[in-house]
Structure 1
């Protein structure tokens, strides 16, 4: 066999191995989505996910080193799609109030459509924090890659828009964007756990009232005392 033929054969084997890895990873993510969504955080085991995906637990751990990392990767695409929309609005120069309203309504709808998974993600984040108590941070790792909050940074869906609004004077500068985005997202996730059947329009109205009541209260002051400017969505 010629050297060129050997190289092509090696490339073909590498591509086949990568395709197999990609399929296994996709099968694990799909199985985890179904398990976390239906069974929640505590009742889902890596072994169950592996069995549903048709692989061994060792293979599952080779792809995802922990259950925390697994749910972070499952939830990540939902977050990144919203972050992408926010970045598009920023580049287009949309008014910050309009962009934030659309973003929060989309966030509430996403949470509602995937409420089982959202509840599991919230429990995973709390469990991760609890297991890290008392452990010093690694100075060489700015964000733990096993942290579900790093893998699926839900506050980032709002953060850039809030920073733009505060920098331009469209929004009050206190609380800082990182603080208020965290408050709003924590409220959203807690309601996904405590009120899983609350309509997304109702959740969005509450979040918008908290956000703009803090950073742009004139929107609420412009209407009557009993009026609700964010009721019912657009």
Structure 2
């Protein structure tokens, strides 16, 4: 639970201190969003973000111990609505094919709208993955992969579809969702100006080519059934 979500302290002085802390945290997140988005991962320092937020570097590090933690916290809110939607689709018993199509289109739009921030986030993930030399640890609260788990919504839907028999069981949900997100992140770096429809078509073709290839062999839709996906 973030400080702003906690029960407000009863003591007025404690409440004032908490309010100041919440405002500082918000200022740092807003500064990080704009700075990472404009300068990228490598050219942004915590000191730059602190200056933009109007606080000292020591204050910035008190809230966020590393750049990885700060950027992961900035990117996390972009991911959460997709996870919530996946949970709702699963709970409602919706077709996982339809749910997956909507997820991949939404994810493509989200990364396109935030493409500079996405490129910075991807650089942070790559650097952190090399540093820890392994998969994400759910208990690591500074790992950007934990703070903004982009593959989670895809994994949940694929896993559900595989369990119900709607989707083929290979590749596994963990591997395919991670591979799909890797492709999307790389596109944010290498093809930042490509419209989201282009990315969505590629991802949908790759994913369903593995999980439900009959969708790609329907003579009525031709070789590119997801062309112009929105």
TM-score (norm 1): 0.90
Give the aligned partner of residue 128 of structure 2.
128
How much has 1:24 moved relative to structure 2?
Answer: 0.4
Indicate if the aligned counterparts of 1:223 and 1:229 stay in contact, CA closer than 8 A: no
C-alpha distance in structure 2 between counterparts of 1:116 and 1:82, whole Å = 20
Partner of 2:179, secondary structure, is: helix
Give the aligned partner of residue 29 of structure 2.
29
Query: Which runs of 5 or more residues in structure 2 are unaligned?
Result: 1-8
Indicate if the aligned counterparts of 1:201 and 1:232 stay in contact, CA closer than 8 A: yes
Task: From 175, 185, 192, give the equivalent of 1:179.
Answer: 175
Give the aligned partner of residue 99 of structure 1.
99
1:75 aligns with 2:71: no
Q: CA RMSD of the aligned region, Å?
A: 1.7
Partner of 2:11, secondary structure, is: helix
C-alpha distance in structure 1 between counterparts of 2:94 and 2:129, whole Å = 36
Bigger Rg, which one:
1
C-alpha distance in structure 2 between counterparts of 1:93 and 1:225, whole Å = 26
TM-score (norm 2): 0.92
Number of positions where the alignment pairs a residue of Structure 1 with one of Structure 2: 221
Give the aligned partner of residue 233 of structure 1.
229
How much has 1:52 moved relative to structure 2?
Answer: 0.5
How much has 1:87 moved relative to structure 2?
Answer: 1.0
How much has 1:132 moved relative to structure 2?
Answer: 2.5
- Mapping of 1:99-118 within 5 angstroms? 99-118=99-118
Query: Which runs of 5 or more residues in structure 1 are unaligned?
Result: 1-8
C-alpha distance in structure 2 between counterparts of 1:220 and 1:33, whole Å = 39
1:221 aligns with 2:217: yes
Deviations 1:166-222 (A, max 9, x none): 000000001110010011000000100110001000100000000000000011112
Give the aligned partner of residue 65 of structure 2.
65
